[in-house]
Each structure stands twice: as C-alpha cells, then as structure tokens.
A and B are shown apart, each in its own frame.
Chain A
Amino acid sequence: MSRKRKELFSHKLISVEEIVDGYYTLKFNRKFDFIPGQVVAIALNHKDDPRLYSIASGNQKDYMRILFDVNPDGLLTPQLKNLKPGDEILVSEPFGKFTFSGTNEWWIATGTGIAPFISMVESGGKLPQKLLHGSRTVDQFLFQNLFSAHLKENYLRFCTRESGGKGIIQGRLTNWLKSEKELPKQIKYYLCGNPEMVVEVRDIILGKGVDFENIIAEIYF
C-alpha cells in the first residue's frame, strides 16, 4: 500500500504443519542470521501489507520456523495454512529488539507467544529460571516437550479449561502469580503474547514490587 517499505525476499517453503488443532508451524530455508527473539515480516505478494511473526527456531539451523494460528477473517493466515512445500513466500530480514538479557530471567507466554522462547532454547541461549506457560487445553502447550526436556521443574504449565496431567497446574497463571508471596526483584521478566495477557500480567508483577524497568513485553498486535 505504500511507496516504500521493508524489503521482502523470496524464500522456498519447506513445510506447513498443523501441530495441534488450529496451530501451525511453517518452515522455510534460512537466508539471514538473527538473534533469538527477533521477528520477520511475511507476505505472499508485494501488494499486501506483510504481517509480523516471531522466529520460532534455533539460529544455527538451516531453516527458519514460525508458529501461527489462523485468524479466519484475516488476510494472511488463512492463506498461509494452505501453502505447500516448494511454494514461494516473501520474508523480510529479521529485526526487532525483544532479545534476551543474558542475565536471570522469567519467561511468561500464552498461545503463539511462546515462539521467541522456542528460538531461545533451540539456539542454546541462557535458560530462564522459570517459564510460565498458559493455555486453555493441555494439547495447546505448544512445544511443551522441548521445554520439559530443557527446563524440567522450572517449566510451569497452567491450564485454564482442563485438569492437567503430571506437571500441569490447573488454573490461571495470573492467579498463581497473584498468590505468590514474593517475586524475584533482580531479574528480568519477558512477557510475550496477546495484549490482554501482557497488560494483566504486567500489572500483577508490578503490584508485587517488580520494577517496570525489569519487564520487557512483546505484544502481538
């Protein structure tokens, strides 16, 4: 729609896979280096405005992966899910500053907001002291096996609709945060996902005395 915009480069699609009902991964050949936490802009033609996606793969792999859910009325995602291996997609160079601090961190995510943390773990970055992961159903804890394997007991899953199995806490992660007597003050909190989650969690953490300078949020607007 505009005269000048982020440059997009043609990439070859390796796969599109529905990993859980309604949630997809999309893999394409990797052309650029990136820092875990960065995003790419994706479009299928040069006319439509691209949408942004967090990179959800390790930065040493020869492919790049994104994780998406379908917005049925949306422009891009209903088309993305129907792509076939070998199709061309347009992808920008990676950009963005939701990159990790290298110090002690807690990560908090719901839905596809887990993507940057997948990249962090697969890239071999510093693991967090805790990852709080929220979901409605047990199967929607995307990439839970990866996190369980790496984070062990520091991986906390909160399931709002179903009673969970082993290691899954039933209820809202916001309630858990509220019920904690104290939260660590000297660490960084990384929040990623939809605006409602981010603002609500941020308010709770602030209310527990965490300095706003220690809260970094990525919002999927």
Chain B
Amino acid sequence: MGKEVLFGKTLEELKVVAKELGFPGFVAKQLADWLYKKKVRSIDEMLNISKKNRDLLKDKYELGLANYDNVQESVDGTKKYLFHTDVNQFVESAYIPSENRKTLCVSSQVGCKMGCLFCMTGKQGFQKNLTAGQIVNQMVSIPESDQLTNLVYMGMGEPLDNISEVMKSLEIITSDWGFAWSPRRINVSTIGVVPAMRHFIENSECHLAISMHSPYNDQRKELMPIENVYPIEQVISVLKEYDFGRQRRISFEYIMFEDVNDSVEHAKELVKLVSGLKSRVNLIKFHPIPDTPLNGSSHVVMERFKEVLEKKGIITTIRKSRGEDIYAACGLLSTKKLLKENQDKDF
C-alpha cells in the first residue's frame, strides 16, 4: 500500500498524526509550519523535528507534493499548468498575471458532473474529486507561487460538489497555522448547489461567485441541468437570508451567448432577480468550444447589457478574456484527451 500524504492535512489532522506516532503535541504545529509556511518539499527538510521522528514519519507518510507535468504560455502572459493527479488523470490550473494582481485559477475535480452546455470540462464527464492537498498543491507547485495575490476556484469542476475537500483546502490557505491568506483574496465559484452553498456561506469568509448565465428558468435549464433541481431564484433567495457584511463579496458570473441570453430583456430580468441583494455582475465573453451550438456576444452587445445593469445601480464589469490561445480561458479547461476511455459503458 502507498504511503499516506501529509500535505493537505489540517492542523487537527496533523495532531492526530503526531499523537499516533507518539510525538509531543507541539510537533503538529511544527509540521504545519514546514508544510504551509516554509513550504518544504521533503520530510528530511523538517529540521526541527528529530532525525528519529522524521524516520518514523517517513515510514508511514510522504509529503505528497506533485510537480506540474507541463506548462503552456499564452501571448498575454497567462500560463496553463497541467498536474497529474492519478493514473491517466490530470487537472489544469491557470495563472493569470495582470498589473496589480497575480491570480491562480485552481481546479477542484478531475472533470465535472454538472454537464453545462457551454463548458469543456463538463464534456469530459466526471472522474474524481481532488483532495485538499491536490487543490493546494496547484498553488505551491508553480514557479509563481510566492507572487500570487488572488486565488479563484473556477478551474475544472464544481467546487461545491466536492465541499469537504474544498473547505479543508480553504482552511489550510486561510488559517494562521497555514498560509494565513485573507479570505478576501479568495473567490469560490459555483453553479448553485444549494445545500453545499449554505455550508460554504456559513463556514467560510471567502467571496462567492454564482454562475447565472440566464435569469429565465426554462433557458437556464437548457444551459445548465442543475437548474432542474436548484433553480436560480432559489439560489438567490438563499443568499438573501445571509448577512455578508461589508467585506464579503457576492458576484454573479454571466457568460454572454449571442442571441441567446444577451438581450435588454435578459438584463432587466437579471436586475429584478438580484434586487435587494448587494452583489455585482461579471459579464464574460464566451469562447466557443468544439461542437457547441453557442456563439459569443459582440462587444457592443455586452456594453449595452452592462449599461442596463449599471443604470439600475448594479456594479458590472466585462471580464477581459485571458489565455484564449492556449485554452486557459474560462470554460476551456479540459484534460479529456489524456483520459483512458472506459469501454464498458451502458450507452
């Protein structure tokens, strides 16, 4: 049997490890320090832990960090990193530098179950939930690690469909004993898995981005099957139950599809839907994916949509497209090519 992985354990879990190996209690904190502050890449580098204890640790555990397998760089400076997570399974992360921010977009699952019509990740089906360690690994195993200012959970997968590992990863990144990042530097994106969304809201201080893409039930259902069970108005009414304070941000992501969801009527309906909820809207240019029946709206149409929202007092931005040439832009991440196809299917 393989060794258990240390990287990705919370302080509580490290205490269990220390106890089990008969180490003094304070060793758990030292382990967290080496893992998440000093960012060592081997157990032997944990110098304030005695050689004897390091050997005991190594008998049962490994650090579990993984280097990236490949990197592609866009003309605009965006980089897409490929990480191996299991036999024939990979995820991608996108590093997006701009003048005042260095953002990493991390993946939370290999593939995704949600099947959104416009998304490359959805097309590869679902293979696996990432562990907290595999999520955080994306952050520490790239050369730009120390420069990162922001983290967005908008890569492959639906983060709230992997709620327990995502919450653990956030705990590691935001705790004093971990990376000690402010939760305000982190944005978690969801299509609105309501029960898990409640859990996230109640147990984290990070920002939340909801993928809306249409204010109309019937149309959203065609774009996003989740609408059948967690309709957007329910998502919004749940959000309205909470007080997010002044610092915590709720935003709606809205990918614009030509002649589908980009009319003035859509904009007005969106305004109605979010009225009473302090939030902002990000309009996103759609990057057509292979075999999709959808096209992206023109810039003029996006500006018109934005104007309607802004006139009603909604802070609206048009998100600049990044890394399109290397398929790192929003909705384009996919590792389907690298999967080994299972032939024993029932369809």
Which A residues form the contact surface with B (CB < 8 A)? Answer: 1-6, 39, 49-50, 52, 95-98, 110-111, 134-136, 140, 158, 160-161, 172-174, 193-203, 206-207, 211-213, 215-219, 221
B273 within 8 A of partner (CB): no
Distance, CA A26 to CA B328, complexed state (A)? 45
Known: A96-B228, A97-B231. A4 touches B241 (CB 8 A): yes
B202 touches A2 (CB 8 A): yes
Contact partner of A98 among B122, B202, B228, CB < 8 A?
B228
A221 touches B113 (CB 8 A): yes
Known: A2-B199, A95-B229, A216-B221. A172 touches B347 (CB 8 A): yes
B347 touches A134 (CB 8 A): yes
B206 CB to nearest chain A CB (Å):
16
Q: Which 8 A-B pairs have the closest CB atoms?
A: A221-B113, A196-B125, A2-B198, A134-B347, A197-B347, A195-B113, A217-B225, A98-B228
Nearest residue (CB) in A for B229 is A96
- A contact residues around B117 at 8 Å (CB): 202, 212
The residue among A194, A197, A219 with the most chain B CB atoms within 10 A of its own CB is A219
Proximity bits, B207-236, A CB within 8 Å = 1, else 0: 000000000010101110111110100000
Within 8 A of A (CB), among B328-347: 344-347
Nearest residue (CB) in B for A3 is B202
A189 CB to nearest chain B CB (Å):
11
B344 touches A160 (CB 8 A): yes
B115 touches A198 (CB 8 A): yes
Distance, CA A211 to CA B223, complexed state (A)? 12
B313 within 8 A of partner (CB): no
| Cross-chain pairs A/B with CB under 8 angstroms, 29 sampled | A2-B199, A2-B202, A5-B195, A5-B198, A98-B228, A110-B347, A111-B346, A134-B347, A136-B345, A158-B347, A160-B344, A195-B112, A196-B125, A196-B126, A197-B345, A197-B346, A199-B115, A203-B123, A203-B291, A206-B291, A206-B292, A211-B293, A212-B293, A212-B294, A216-B221, A218-B225, A219-B115, A219-B225, A221-B126
B162 CB to nearest chain A CB (Å):
11
A202 CB to nearest chain B CB (Å):
7
- A contact residues around B126 at 8 Å (CB): 195-196, 221
B166 CB to nearest chain A CB (Å):
13
B347 touches A199 (CB 8 A): no
B198 touches A174 (CB 8 A): no
- A contact residues around B125 at 8 Å (CB): 194-196, 199-200
Known: A160-B347, A196-B345, A212-B223. 7 other contacts (CB 8 A): A2-B195, A95-B229, A134-B346, A161-B344, A195-B125, A201-B347, A202-B115
Distance, CA A29 to CA B117, complexed state (A)? 37
Proximity bits, B288-316, A CB within 8 Å = 1, else 0: 00011110000000000000000000000
B92 within 8 A of partner (CB): no
A3 touches B345 (CB 8 A): no
A219 touches B347 (CB 8 A): no
B161 within 8 A of partner (CB): yes
Contact partner of B114 among A172, A206, A219, CB < 8 A?
A219
Distance, CA A4 to CA B239, complexed state (A)? 12
- B contact residues around A98 at 8 Å (CB): 228
B346 touches A97 (CB 8 A): no
- A contact residues around B241 at 8 Å (CB): 4
- A contact residues around B228 at 8 Å (CB): 96-98, 218
A39 touches B293 (CB 8 A): no
A66 CB to nearest chain B CB (Å):
15
Distance, CA A199 to CA B112, complexed state (A)? 11
B124 CB to nearest chain A CB (Å):
8
Distance, CA A135 to CA B158, complexed state (A)? 28
- B contact residues around A39 at 8 Å (CB): 229
Nearest residue (CB) in A for B227 is A97
